[in-house]
Amino acid sequence: MENIVLRVKNIDVYYKDLQALWNVSLELKEGKIVSIIGSNGSGKSTLLNAVTGLLPLTGGTIELFGERIDGLAPHEIVSRGISLVPEGRRVFPRLTIYENLIIGSYPLKSRSSKNQSIDKLYQLFPILKMRQDQMARFLSGGEQQILAIGRALMSKPKLILCDEISLGLAPLIIKEIYNQLRHINQEGTSIVLVEQDIKRSLKIASQAYILVGGRVGLEGDPTFFTEDEVRKAYFGI
């Protein structure tokens, strides 16, 4: 019986007085990758914000490693082994690459191993080492994305949530990032991928959910999705 790392059960979420999610459920098994896709406004980011505690639930529950996390503050949730690569990267512009990574290891448990974690990351992403003393605001989009992922890994999370990491990046860079994601996953980290780019994210995932209008339109093993099904679910037809 595989462990369920993340279980979202029948949640309703409001974003600024408007309901954004209706009765959404999803499950992520340990060591797997789950993709959540949907067009703009389908509720993808709202879902991640709800999981990380930035938005409150009006209904339903969220469990992380079997324990309820809905209602906790973001910083409490994050210290339980979950990390977010936020939409738009949101690296700290006036901190250097090195400092951004160090902040990633802020949760007490990960501090003692910070040097090893950084060395590993520098191996995985050599460009970070090259520019480690540069302030993050001088990095290109792709470099910032890599930094954001690296930063998320510093806390040695068992689960990473990636919010639209391919947005605005060149295809070659996206390919590289996805390779690294496979690598990270092989080492045991479970991943939730929220994307607009359907092809790549469906290829890499073992389970997928297509959100449309705040509800789950289609779910299952993406290898069995037909193109027709996907298109219909994506556009809510």
Partner 1 sequence: MENFCQLILNGVLLGGLYATIAMGLSTILGIVKMINLAHGDFMILGSYLSFAFMHWIGVNPFWTFFLVIPVMFFIGFFLQSLILNRVVGKGMEPSLILTFGLSIIIQNSLLLFFTPDSRSLMTPLSVKTIPVTEFLNIPLLYLINFFIALGAIFILHLIFQKTYLGRAIRAASDDEGAAKLMGINTKRIYAFAMGIAMMTAGVAGVLVGMAFLFYPHTGPQYLIIAFGVMVIGGLGSMKGTFIGGLILALSQLIGAQLGGIGNQLLSGYIVLLIVLAIRPQGVFGEG
Residues that bind partner 1 (CB under 8 A): 52, 54, 73-75, 78-79, 84, 86, 90-95, 99, 102-104, 106-107, 111, 151, 155
Nearest CB to partner 1, comparing residues 33 and 102:
102
State the burial class of residue 145 (Cβ atoms within 10 Å of its Cβ: 0-12, 13-18, 19+).
buried
Nearest CB to partner 1, comparing residues 86 and 214:
86
**What is the smallest separation between the CB atom of 14 and partner 1, expressed in angstroms?**
18
CA 56 vs. chain centroid, Å, equals 18
**What is the smallest separation between the CB atom of 106 and partner 1, expressed in angstroms?**
5
Nearest CB to partner 1, comparing residues 67 and 228:
67
Whether the CB-CB separation of 191 and 159 falls below 8 Å is answered with yes
**What is the smallest separation between the CB atom of 83 and partner 1, expressed in angstroms?**
8
Alpha carbon separation from 49 to 7, 63, 127, 177, 180 (Å, rounded): 15, 14, 29, 23, 24
Nearest CB to partner 1, comparing residues 145 and 207:
145
**What is the smallest separation between the CB atom of 76 and partner 1, expressed in angstroms?**
8
**What is the smallest separation between the CB atom of 103 and partner 1, expressed in angstroms?**
5
Nearest CB to partner 1, comparing residues 143 and 219:
143
Q: What are phi and psi of 139, to 5 degrees?
A: -85, 155
Nearest CB to partner 1, comparing residues 4 and 103:
103
Q: Tokens 């040097």 appear where? A: 115
State the burial class of residue 171 (Cβ atoms within 10 Å of its Cβ: 0-12, 13-18, 19+).
exposed
End-to-end CA, the chain: 36
Single-letter residue type at 157: P
**What is the smallest separation between the CB atom of 210 and partner 1, expressed in angstroms?**
25
Query: Residue 1 corresponds to which tokens in the numbers above?
Result: 């019986």
